Amino acid sequence: MLNFIVKRLIQIPVVMLVLSLMIVGLTQLLTPEQRAAPYIRSEQQAARLEQIIEQRGLRDPFPVQYGRWLGSTLQGDLGYSKASNQDVIATIKERLPRTIELTILTAIPILLISVWLGTLSALHKDKFIDQFLRVVVVLGYSLPSFVVGILLLAVFYAYLGWLPGSGQLNVVNTFALGDIRTYTGLLTIDAALNGRWDIAWDALQHMILPALTLVIVLSANIIKVMRNNMLEALTSDYVRTARAKGLAPKAVNRKHARRNALLSIVTLGGFLIIGLLGGSLITETIFAFPGVGQWVVQAAVGVDLAAVLGFAMLTAVIVVLVSTVVDILYGVIDPRVRFD
């Protein structure tokens, strides 16, 4: 297994190199003036557009420009993000923990609820609860995340006033952040460790609606796959053999059927976490949640090439790391899997 993990870690720089070549190459489709836009931060700099283009070498051949970018990246400089008005590295360090926090609050309920409901639906095939859950799945497939988000905002924020509608904290607690000592980078945990339970609760409340939106939209596919896998497992030879041996139905369903049905759910869970860590672009934008997703949307709209490249590099690392963990979990769930 150690050799397998080392091989996967070696893939990270290779994937990042290929991805960066593709993205930097695509930026050559833009004019030097368009690529110079992120470096202009004032009217005075706008008046020196040609000078900035020459200083940045934006008219140089592609290999020269790529070599310059790669050299800066290897030194830890991914450039300046106009969307966040700070360096790309600093922006990722600031916003990624917020997205991780939202991912944790979202992924765990999605996986637990989806596995449970998918199993329940399969065990009661064609009965009322199965029919009801199938309708719920269709609705989950049909409703886009922005529609669900707006509906939740209208009900729980605008009408009932139970939950906050946007941001990460209210105004008062935002000013109190300077007194919070950082331990993990996750605001709810850091606030609790500092004894500021009011800030921890406020941060948690601000994440409820974005997390609920993602749970509603993203659970549908996993429930459907879990149901289909469970139905297939329940009719398999090894399950019939277990029943013939006189094992209790619960033991058969849990130990034999559900365990084998979970294999593809591990893969879906990996894709789910990759998507969430990469930033739930639409959801974070709707709720003005200051995570990676909101930043990338602003960067894309403003043609912030440094931010887009930085986000692409971050995504490459996440994909390789999560894929490695998923493959390891395959071996834990199914002993037949071997790491060569």
pLDDT score at 240: 75
**48-61 average pLDDT score:** 80
- Res. 166: pLDDT tops 80: yes
**pLDDT bucket at 311, cuts 50 / 70 / 90:** confident
**Residue whose tokens read 């051949």:** 61
pLDDT score at 330: 74
Burial status of residue 195 (CB atoms within 10 A of its CB: 0-12, 13-18, 19 or more): exposed
pLDDT score at 209: 92
Residue pair 94/200 in contact by the 8 Å Cβ criterion: no
| Strand partners for 81 | 86
pLDDT score at 210: 92
Q: Distance (Å, rounded) from C-alpha 167 to C-alpha 284?
A: 9
Q: How far is CA 122 from CA 2, 128, 287, 299, in A?
A: 38, 12, 35, 44
Map residue 86 onto helix, strand or coil.
Answer: strand
The C-alpha angle with vertex 189 and arms to 198 and 114, in degrees rounded to 5, equals 105
Q: What is the DSSP letter of 181?
A: P
Map residue 288 onto helix, strand or coil.
Answer: coil
Torsion from C-alpha of 275, 279, 285, 289, nearest 10 degrees: 130
**59-72 average pLDDT score:** 84
Q: Which residue has the higher pLDDT, 45 or 290?
A: 290
Q: Which residue has the higher pLDDT, 210 or 58?
A: 210
- Res. 339: pLDDT tops 70: no
pLDDT score at 154: 92
The dihedral of CA 206, 209, 210, 212: what is its sign?
positive
Torsion from C-alpha of 268, 274, 275, 277, nearest 10 degrees: 140
- Res. 85: pLDDT tops 80: yes
**pLDDT bucket at 338, cuts 50 / 70 / 90:** low
Mean pLDDT (the chain) is: 83
pLDDT score at 31: 80
